[in-house]
Structure 1
């Protein structure tokens, strides 16, 4: 299952955007209002939970300077990745889009498609005010 967030344009350089997203503790400020738990576990790993959903642990798996950050599931039964694509369109103007990629059975995909789509849309929308 592949889901894409809308693209947002930030009034920041690609480097500033990349540096913000590289620090996993900054994801707390991007989370939706219905977050019930957020905890940094290691330098590159954090745990979060939304009300009514199980806890999810994300770990930074890959970072391509000023272009891409890949967060992947760290443990748990689901294997997925959250990819931030960062594109500088001019100095101090950067496009960001989040992609969610995971392998799920049809029943699971149907159940999580809506909440995950809303979740990644909220993350990129909050980037406009937080980065």
Structure 2
């Protein structure tokens, strides 16, 4: 299952955007309002939970300076990745789009498609004010 957020344009350089997303503690500022728990576990790993949902641990798996950040599931039964694609348009203007990639059975995919789409859309929308 592959989902993509809308693209947002930030009035920041690709470097500033990349540096913000590289620091996992900053993801707390991007979370939706229905977050019930956020905890940094390591320099590259954090745990979060949304009300009524299980806790999810994300770990930074890859970082391509100023272009891409990949967070992946760290433990748990589901294997997926959250990818932040950063494209500099001009020196202080950057497009950011989040992608969610995971392998799920059809039933699970149907259940999580809506909530995950809304979640990544919220993360990317919150970047406009957080970064």
Superposed pair shares fold, TM > 0.5 = yes
Task: Spell out structure 1 runs of 4+ moving beyond 6 A.
Answer: none
Deviation at 1:32?
Answer: 0.0
**Partner SS for 2:59:** strand
For 2:76 and 2:54, how far apart are their aligned partners in 1?
10
SS at structure 2 position matched to 1:75: coil
Alignment of 1:46-61 (within 5 A): 46-61=46-61
Q: 1:91-113: CA deviations, max 9, x gaps? A: 00000000000000000000000
SS in 2 for 1:123: helix
Paired residues, number: 131
The CA distance in 2 between the partners of 1:34 and 1:107, in whole Å, is: 25
Once the 2 structures are TM-superposed, how far is the Cα of residue 86 of structure 1 from its aligned partner? 0.1
TM-score, length-scaled by structure 2: 1.00
Q: What displacement does 1:50 show?
A: 0.2
Tell me the alpha carbon deviations over residues 5-52 of structure 1, each in whole angstroms, 9 at most, x when there is no partner.
Answer: 000000000000000000000000000000000000000000000000
Question: 2:81 aligns to what SS in structure 1?
Answer: strand
Q: Cα RMSD between the aligned structures? A: 0.2
Task: For structure 1, list consecutive stretches of 5 or more residues without a partner in the other structure.
Answer: none
- Residue 56 of structure 1 deviates from its aligned partner by 0.1
Between the aligned partners of 1:53 and 1:107, the Cα distance in structure 2 is: 17
* TM-score, normalisation: structure 1: 1.00
How far apart, in 2, do the equivalents of 1:6 and 1:56 lie? 23
CA distance in 2, matches of 1:33, 1:84: 21
Q: Distance in 2 between matches of 1:112 and 1:129?
A: 27
5+ residue gaps in structure 2? none
Using the alignment, how far apart are the partners of 2:99 and 2:125 within structure 1? 14
